[in-house]
Every structure is written in C-alpha cells, then in structure tokens.
Amino acid sequence: MHLDLATTSMLAGMALNETPALNTLTPEEARLVFTEINRSMPPGPEQVSSEDCQIPVEGGAIRGRILRPSMTAKSVMVYYHGGGWVIGNIDDYDAVGRHLAETCQAIVIMVDYRKAPEHPFPVPVNDCYAALNWVDTQRSKLRIHDLPLVVAGDSAGGNLAAVMSIKARDESGPEIALQALIYPVTDGRMGAESFTHEDKQLFLTTEIMAFFWDHYADSKTRLDPLASPALTASLADLPPAVVLTAEFDILVDEGRTFAEHLKASGVPVSYRDFAQQMHGFFAMPAALPAAGKAMAWLAQEMDRHLNPTERKDVVVVGAGFSGMYQLHKLREQGLNVQVFEAGSDVGGTWYWNRYPGARVDIESMAYSFSFSDELQQEWEWSEKYSPQPELLKYAQHIADRFDLKSDIAFDTRVASAHFDEDTNEWLVTTECGRRVRAQHLVMATGVLSASKTPDISGRDNYRGETYRTGLWPKEGVDFTGKRVAVIGTGSSAVQAIPLIAEEADDVVVYQRTATFTTPALNHALNKDDASVIKANYAEYRAKQRLNVLGVVDERSLERTMDVSAQERDRRFKAGWESGILPGMLFQFADLQVEQEANDAISEYIRDRIRDTVKDEQTAQDLLPTDYPYGTKRPCIDTNYYETFNRENVSLVNLRRTPIETITQKGIRTAEGEREFDAIVYATGFDAMTGPLLRVDIRGRGGVKLTDAWNDGPRSYLGIAIHGFPNLFTITGPSSPSVLSNMLVSIEQHVDWVSDCIQWMKTEGKATIEPSDSAEQEWAEHTEQLANMTLYPKANSWYMGANVPGKPRMFLAYVGGVGTYRMICDQVAAAGYRGFQAA
C-alpha cells in the first residue's frame, strides 16, 4: 500500500487521536465523531456566498444550503453528502460545498436529507428527489434560471445521486444534465472483490459499510434498484456521468463497475481512479491536495460534458461599436458569426462608463457611423457632444435596426482563445464554459475597456462606498449630502468632478498630474446645422476618412515661431474658443513636435487656468508643468477649472502630499486623514493591450500572447500578429486608434478585416498571418514616427506608463488616419503584402 504523504499523515493523526471505529458506536455517537473530524478541518473559500433555505418534503421540511461561487456560475449542482445515509450533514460538508462551488463554478445546493436509522430507505431517496424537484421548479426564485442541472454526491451521496438520475429518467422528472458520482456506493450485496483487500480497509472498512447498510435497508429492501443502482435493469438513457474512485477504497470496484456499465449502456462517461488515495479523500479539500486535484478534474470533465463545442465562421469578442459593425459586415458576407460580450447590453465604452458627465469629446455628427446612409440620416443627436445615455441609445438603435442581438451572447466573458494548428481554427472558451471553434477570431475588445485596478495602498481597507468611473453602477449614484474623494484628474475625472461637486456636500480632488483641458462649449444641437451636415454627409465623411484625426477640421501648415507673438496669441485664443478637442493643436503644424512651440501653447493654457481659478495655491497646483501639451490625452470640459472656485471643492496635490494609505474611513496623506462617504477612482485603464492580454490567447505552438508581447505589443498595422493566424484586432496597438475619431478608425478596420476574410474565402486560404519581418518593419516605422514627436516625453497611458511594470513604448500610430488608410489599402491591393496566406 502506498498512500500519498498528506493522506498518510492524516490517517496517522486520526490513529494518534484514537478516533473510534464508527461501527462500534451508536448512530448519534458516530455523527458526533464525524462532526468532530470535519470541525478540525479549515473552512472553505470565504468568497462563496452562503444562504440556508427550507426545502419542503413529505411530512415537513429539510434544510438546504445554497452556495454561490464568486464568479459567473456555469451550472447548478444539487449535492448529496456522504456518510452512509446515517451520519453527516450540510454543516459537516460546508467546506466541501464551498470548494466545489469555486472549483466547478457551480451554484451548489446542499441537501440535508433525513438519515437512517430514524429515517431508513426510502426516506433519504424521497427527500433527495423532493429537493431535486424543488430546485428545478424554483429556478427563477433561486436565481439559477436556465443553468444545467447536475446531481452529485460522494459515497452514500454518490449512491443517492445515481439513484436520482434513474428516478428522474423513469418518472420523467427534472432534466439532469450530468451526474457526478464520487466513490459511489452502488451495490447492497457488498460482494465486490475490493471488499476483501486488506489494504483498502482505510477510513471506510467492510464492517463500517455493513453498519451503514444495516441501518439504511434490510437485506431484502437494499436490493431495490433505488437502494442499489447497480441492480437497475437498464442504465440506458441516463445523463452523462463523471465517476471518480480512490485506489485504496473498498468501494473502488463498485464505482468502476458502475462506470463500465453506464458506458456499455451508451451513457457518456468520464472515469478516473485516483491513485494513492483512500475513501473520503474528496471531502477533505483543505487538508489533502489530492482532493483539490480531484475537484479540478471533476470541473474539467463537467465542462466537457456540459459544453459541447459549437462551430462558427468567425468569433467576435466585444459588442461595442466595433463588434457590432463587424458582426453586421460579416453577416452581409454570408458568414456565421458569434459575438461574445461581457456586458448585459451592446455599447462597450458607453455601456460601462456611466459616471456623471460622461460624454463624447468628438462632435457627435462626426463620432457616428457612416456605413449606412439611412442610419446617419435618421439618427438625431441632441447635443454637440452627446451624453453617455444617448450614445448608449444610439448603440441599442444600431443593434435593433440591424437585428444584431440574436448573434450576441451577453453577460459572457471570453476566458481563452487557443489556435488549433491541426484544424486551423480558434477554440474560444467563455468563462461560463461555452466553447466555439471558428476559423477567424476578431478581438473587438476596445482600447480603454480594461479599467485599471487602482494601485494605491490600503485600498481594501476602506469601508465606505467605492466607485470606478470605468465600471460605474447601472443604477447611478446619488452623492447628495455626501463627502466625496475623487482620485485622478484625467478625462473621466474632468467630466465627473463638476457634476459630483454640484451634488455632494464636500468634494476633495486628489491630483497626481495636473491636466490640460480647454472649454468644450457644448450646446444643444441646432437642427438646421445638423441638416446641413446631413445634406452633405458624403463629402463630410470623405474628409474625415483622409483627415489626420478622422475629423473634418484641418491642421494649419504654419510653424508656431514663424508668426508674431500677437498672431500666436490670436491663434491660441481662437483654439481656446473653438470648443473642439484638436482646436488648439491644429492652430500650427509643429505644436506636437517642437518643444518651443509647445511651450508657447502650454503657457497660454496655464495663463487661462491662472485667470480662472481664484485661490492662488489651487491655481498653482492645477498648472500642468511636467509634460508638453497634447502628449497626454488633452481634455475638453464644462466648468472644470471653475469648479475649484466652489466652497465645497478642494484640491490635494499628491506631488506635495502623496497618499500614504487608504484607511477604513478615508484617505491619509502626510497632512493627516480625511474621512469620506465615498471614494471615486478615476484612475484610468490598462490601455490598448489590457483588453487583449486579459484573455488567455495562444497562437501557434501554444505561444501565449502575454509572452509574445512580454517586451511590448508587436503587430503588423495594428491589425494582425505574427504567430497568431486569423486573429484580427480592431483598432489594436500600433494603429491610429486612440489618436483618432474612434468611429472612423473602427469602420476602416472592420472594412479592411472583412475584405481580408472575403479574399481568403475567394482564394481558398485557410490561414493568414503577417510575416515576422513585416511586423518588425511596422514596429520600426511606428516607433520612428513617434520619436519625431514630443509624445515620448510624457508618462502617459499612450506610453504604457500608467501601469506599473508595463513596457514603455508608444502604443499608437501617429502618422494620421488618412495616411494609415492608404497604407492598409495598398497592402491589400498588393495581395496582402507582408502577410503569409496558406
């Protein structure tokens, strides 16, 4: 006999403690001993939520316990604990249930069925069946909706789970998707050879098993198939089974034989015998590492049975503007597409970013789709810069108008995407266990969608309300009468602070880097102005497509220092009063490449801050001085600087007084602790690469994208990656993306990708990917262009500098939207130059 060390040590401990053999005790004493053994084990994972309930059964009610995992559940598992139908209860099994919930991502419902000898066969069977029916009929009340139903149990509980499957089949009961049988008792005759092996008499001995059977059912009734499922006439048409046994267990033969019979009857079966293990090991997950392995194996096999693989032409990840348009385009090409979206609705950025004041900062007439003339003519924007609710409505309108939702799976986050070189397909797996194979994978995951976990010490200490601008609650937040801290002063904070200040009693803004922002001059959109644009939309859109930023305004070709100081001032004033994002930067050609030119415009903005903010120290603290204007994303605002003149708003300059820690009640800096009712983190995103790298993407040879991009992202045209065939990134790193009107860039990328997929179909190509050299050349080109600008001088998210440990490099293509479009078109026209297609 060779048990593993942990199990050996557990048995030795029990021997030293002189744990009595259960068969020498009364049932009450045996129950107490069993409870003692379980109490000595560590509890299960705390993050599992627990709720007890009453389950109606014949003649009364029994206890149930609902254990919900911390992540999205993939199934609901009705669990029948072990203990020979005589001992054990759901408290003894709490840790087991919690481990199962987390490992199997299942809502585990533990059933405290009544025990023998007080309640012999068939009472436990009837209780368990009543519980199963109760779960199935209470789906919406229990919030388990259409999750597949699994019955599971260990030892005598495994017996009950097997019996439930038979009973449900024979009585047309609940539809069971899977039975998980952990070293099940299956045959009351106790005749299997393993009962005769001396070295298998561990924890459960032949005498103890006889003690259990004798209390449960007399020698005749125990032969009833609902007591001994091995004696069932036919095992055909039973649910798929996962059967697990332990090498040194008297029940090993019963479990294995039952698995073989199920298989022979046509039932899909996963079977594994756990070497070096004894009976009961599965129920000791905190003490025995093998139990963790067994649960992981169970989870894997459950996935395999519950989620057969589907086949599509293309999987698109994300249902923001890019994912929606990509779906529409590919459908038009006759392709079968599956979109996965983590949110509960379309909209992407505009679904998640619901913080007060969230609105677009490119004019809505320009920040809108052009692919459908009907759409652009019929849609009416109410403001120059539309607020988030209207942008979300626009996204919803597109989804409805083009009937997109039927191919989008909402509330479904993609966990992994692995390229299968044998079939030239991507195997995409969701966190809920759905698996889809597809020739092409389009990552339409956005560039600012991975909200950064704030890297501030003590964050978890805080007991008040906490919000993140990028993950704002759907129901909104009422700050009335509250003391609110806002950490961060980027675009999100610049929009949110003025509105939070109008509502809250007191607002303290914690600023690490002062921001440059200019007036947005937002206003209701004049219908006549909109009509003029609509009448000339074709021309307007053509301009956008060739413009450097994807807008219609043009950059001056003049150099800043070539004009007089008065003329510079006049132009800067015009920029300040333009009310558009590039209004200042377009005044001269060299503002983002010449330091002297940039110093001039930066000083102009600093003067406007000094003019606006009344308190001298606050004005001084709000002056951005350590990076050139435009090298961090500039903002446009409504009353940002003015807000600091309010009585209820103050500024903490973290350069002078850094945050020491977040406390239970607030924030402590060198100047002491301030208490808050709410902390708003406007601390930004793991931009560009974050949304891609949080999915486990693996290309040829199983190479992980995280490894391929260890030194920073590499991608040809920001669309495709060497070693990752048929994978396309919409507005990916090293494309213009964040330096442009995103809607223009999204349309261009989606059109290009769709054309490429169509070309592959026409040419009969199974795979396409860029060559290493084309990717290298593009990397050098994009870096060279970035180095000609002032961008690398700032610690910005454009440079990856906002995420500790992220490689420092410029993440976008600065050559302009129009130039980039031409390059992409030329690549395609030259038979996808730089790509290898096979």
Question: Which is closer to ligand NAP, CB of 513 or CB of 748?
Answer: 513
Residues 6+ apart with CB under 8 A from 641: 517, 608, 609, 612, 613, 622
How far apart CA 686 and CA 450 sit, in angstroms, is 6
- Give Cα separations from 521 to 229, 272, 350, 363, 721 (angstroms): 76, 68, 21, 11, 41
Question: Which is closer to ligand NAP, CB of 44 or CB of 733?
Answer: 733
Q: Are 79 and 109 in contact (CB under 8 A)?
A: yes
- Give Cα separations from 795 to 562, 600, 714 (angstroms): 30, 21, 20
Nearest to 745 by CA among 759, 729, 727: 729
Q: Is 673 helix (H, G, I), strand (E, B) or coil?
A: strand
What DSSP element (H or E) covers 10? helix 5-16
φ/ψ of 675, rounded to 5, equals -95, 145
Residues 6+ apart with CB under 8 A from 495: 355, 356, 357, 358, 359, 635, 637, 638
Integer Rg of the chain from CA: 32
Question: Which is closer to ligand NAP, CB of 185 or CB of 487?
Answer: 487
Question: Which is closer to ligand NAP, CB of 311 or CB of 655?
Answer: 655
Handedness of CA 87, 296, 229, 226 (dihedral sign): positive
Smallest distance from the beta carbon of 488 to ligand NAP, in angstroms?
3
Residues that bind ligand NAP (CB under 6 A): 359-361, 448, 454-456, 469, 487-493, 495, 512-513, 633, 654, 682-685, 738, 797, 802
Question: Which is closer to ligand NAP, CB of 256 or CB of 633?
Answer: 633
Nearest to ligand NAP by Cβ — which residue?
490
Smallest distance from the beta carbon of 518 to ligand NAP, in angstroms?
13
Question: Which is closer to ligand NAP, CB of 419 or CB of 640?
Answer: 640
Smallest distance from the beta carbon of 385 to ligand NAP, in angstroms?
7
DSSP character string of 494-557: HHHHHHHHHHSSEEEEEESS---EEE----BPPHHHHHHHHHTHHHHHHHHHHSSSSSS-----
Residue with tokens 């261009």: 748
Smallest distance from the beta carbon of 485 to ligand NAP, in angstroms?
11
Smallest distance from the beta carbon of 455 to ligand NAP, in angstroms?
5
Smallest distance from the beta carbon of 447 to ligand NAP, in angstroms?
8
Look up residue 204 and give its DSSP letter.
Answer: S
How far apart CA 94 and CA 109 sit, in angstroms, is 11
Look up residue 194 and give its DSSP letter.
Answer: G
Residues 6+ apart with CB under 8 A from 722: 714, 716, 769, 770, 771, 772, 774, 775
Question: Which is closer to ligand NAP, CB of 83 or CB of 488?
Answer: 488
Smallest distance from the beta carbon of 801 to ligand NAP, in angstroms?
7
Q: Which of 75, 155, 715, 754 is catalytic?
A: 155
Question: Which is closer to ligand NAP, CB of 726 or CB of 802?
Answer: 802
Residue 796: active-site member: no
CA angle 530, 531, 533 (to 5 degrees): 65
Bridge partners, residue 52, by sequence: 65
Handedness of CA 187, 192, 195, 200 (dihedral sign): negative
Residue 481 CA neighbour count, 13 Å, CB half? 0
Q: Phi-psi category of 83—alpha, beta or left, where left has phi over 0 and alpha has psi -120 to 50?
A: left
Smallest distance from the beta carbon of 317 to ligand NAP, in angstroms?
20
Nearest to 81 by CA among 25, 30, 128: 128
How far apart CA 392 and CA 34 sit, in angstroms, is 56
Question: Which is closer to ligand NAP, CB of 302 or CB of 609?
Answer: 609
Smallest distance from the beta carbon of 578 to ligand NAP, in angstroms?
16
Smallest distance from the beta carbon of 599 to ligand NAP, in angstroms?
20
Smallest distance from the beta carbon of 680 to ligand NAP, in angstroms?
11
Give the distance from CA 404 to its chain's centroid.
22
Look up residue 560 and give its DSSP letter.
Answer: G
Residue with tokens 């057969």: 308
Question: Which is closer to ligand NAP, CB of 679 or CB of 774?
Answer: 679
Structure-block tokens of residue 206: 């032949």
Nearest to 78 by CA among 132, 140, 138: 132
Question: Which is closer to ligand NAP, CB of 379 or CB of 798?
Answer: 798
Smallest distance from the beta carbon of 516 to ligand NAP, in angstroms?
11
Smallest distance from the beta carbon of 364 to ligand NAP, in angstroms?
11
Around Cβ 427, how many Cβ atoms within 10 Å? Answer: 18
Nearest to 115 by CA among 150, 81, 91: 81
How far apart CA 3 and CA 730 sit, in angstroms, is 53
CA angle 13, 17, 23 (to 5 degrees): 105
Question: Which is closer to ligand NAP, CB of 253 or CB of 361?
Answer: 361
Question: Which is closer to ligand NAP, CB of 121 or CB of 510?
Answer: 510
Residue with tokens 């129950």: 31
* Residues acting as catalytic residues: 155
